[in-house]
Amino acid sequence: MRQLLASLAITLGIVGVAHADLQGDADAAAGRDKAAACAACHGPAGISIAPTFPNLAGQQASYLAKQIMDIRDATRSVPQMAGQVDNFSDQDAWDVAIYFAGQEPAVGQADPALVERGEALYRAGDMAKGIPACAACHTPTGAGIGSAVYPALSGQHAGYIESTLKAFAAGDRTNDPNGVMGDIAAKMSDADMAAAANYVLGLH
């Protein structure tokens, strides 16, 4: 557990420095125009109606810009996004990211039956399994940490969070810094993933 926490701290520092000056020239107005094609899946203001597509509204701009560029560069495979951002420049990615970051985030309702376990994992982790608290990187309010490129989770679709955790655990998604999420997700049971995902849906 100590090694994992140390890795989290190192990752936060390294990635934070790398992204410190990248969003200064981003233009939300330009991003709104460039994001028009995103509306079909993510909603015009970044709130999707289908749980398979993530909400983008209120997301940390640094995280969203990284995902756009990773998908463009085939560092992250998202079949549903095939061809959507192939022609995006880094500037385009940041413009769209800044636009969605400025939108009002979604508010979800958690299932009371799963809240107790979800809250325990989110706020304290599970020492016996070597799972650190989600709040350590995503903050107690689920807002994420932009300087470290850690995403906001508050109000995110539970189905999307759950499928993402499973992808990290299986090694199907590997664009997390230093493999931190892969290590964590691999220690979570399906029930843990469902509980954590449900909790962040209602975290606001």
pLDDT tens-digit readout, 2-27: 555 555 554 444 444 444 455 678 99
**CB contact at 8 A, 22 and 115:** no
Q: Is 49 within a domain? A: yes
- pLDDT tens for residues 166-198? 999 999 999 999 999 999 999 999 999 999 999
Arithmetic mean of pLDDT, 106-134: 97
Count of domains forming the chain: 2
Arithmetic mean of pLDDT, 38-54: 96
pLDDT reported for residue 146: 96
Per the structure block, which two tokens stand in for 83? 């061809």
Residue 128, C-beta contacts closer than 8 angstroms, at least 6 positions apart: none
Residue 49 confidence (pLDDT) above 60: yes
Residues 119 and 84 in one domain: no
Residues 69 and 123 in one domain: no
- Per-state percent for the chain, helix, strand, coil, to nearest 5: 55, 0, 40
Q: Residue written as tokens 């109606």?
A: 49
| Alpha carbon distance 86, 68 (integer Å) | 9
Q: In whole angstroms, how far apart are CA 58 and each of 48, 88, 133, 152?
A: 13, 21, 22, 8
Residues 133 and 185 in one domain: yes
pLDDT reported for residue 160: 98
What is the pLDDT confidence band of residue 87, given thresholds at 50, 70 and 90? very high
**CB contact at 8 A, 71 and 78:** yes
Per the structure block, which two tokens stand in for 187? 């220690």
Residues 141 and 176 in one domain: yes
Arithmetic mean of pLDDT, 20-39: 86
Domain range for residue 82? Answer: 22-101
Of the three residues 71, 101, 131, the one that is the final residue of a domain is: 101
**CB contact at 8 A, 133 and 200:** no
